[in-house]
Amino acid sequence: MAKTLYTATAHVTGGRVEGHGRTGDGQLEVDLRIPEEMGGPGGGTNPEELFAVGYAACFEGALAVAARRAKVEPGEVAIDSEVSLSPNSEGGFDLSVGLNVTLPGIEGESEAIDLVRAAHKVCPYSNATRGNIDVALTANGAAVD
């Protein structure tokens, strides 16, 4: 088994309906609510928003690793993420993700795509979701297959 580098902890009560979540270190504390778009009251965050922020932040770190390995400077990277919740045919729900990556320091389309593809191999969120949910990537507006 690999050496654990870090373990995050959190405590949640009430789930997504009228919930509250707090990380073990107290740095993040949120009210959880069903979004208005799903017929809820809004007024809090939800698991999909938290996942969208977490995946984008993690992916940006993976891009830094990939850029360092490729010896390129991607510039001030920005990632717009989308996490969608959809019903599935088994009566449950599925997630899908879109990560739209902007690399201002990379001009060539193929170089940008290669960098995002390399980051997708390094990112722990990508490794956790691979084969489980649909993840669509773009690099400077170009689709990454």
Give the pLDDT score at 66. Answer: 98
Q: Which CATH superfamily is domain 47-144 in?
A: K homology (KH) domain (3.30.300.20)
Q: What is the pLDDT of residues 63-118, one digit of tens each?
A: 999 999 999 999 999 999 999 999 999 999 999 999 999 999 999 999 999 999 99
Give the pLDDT score at 18. Answer: 93
Give the pLDDT score at 74. Answer: 95
Rounded average pLDDT over 29-58: 96
Q: Where in the chain is the domain with CATH 3.30.300.20?
A: 47-144
pLDDT of 1 higher than 90: no
- AA identity, residue 97: V
pTM, entire model: 0.94
Q: Looking at domain 1-45, which CATH architecture does it have?
A: Single Sheet (2.20)
Distance CA 40, CA 127 (A): 32
| Residue 71 dihedral angles phi and psi, to the nearest 5° | 60, 45
Q: What is the pLDDT of residues 127-145, one digit of tens each?
A: 999 999 999 999 999 999 9
| pLDDT band, very low/low/confident/very high, at 56 (cuts 50, 70, 90) | very high
Q: Where in the chain is the domain with CATH 2.20.25.10?
A: 1-45
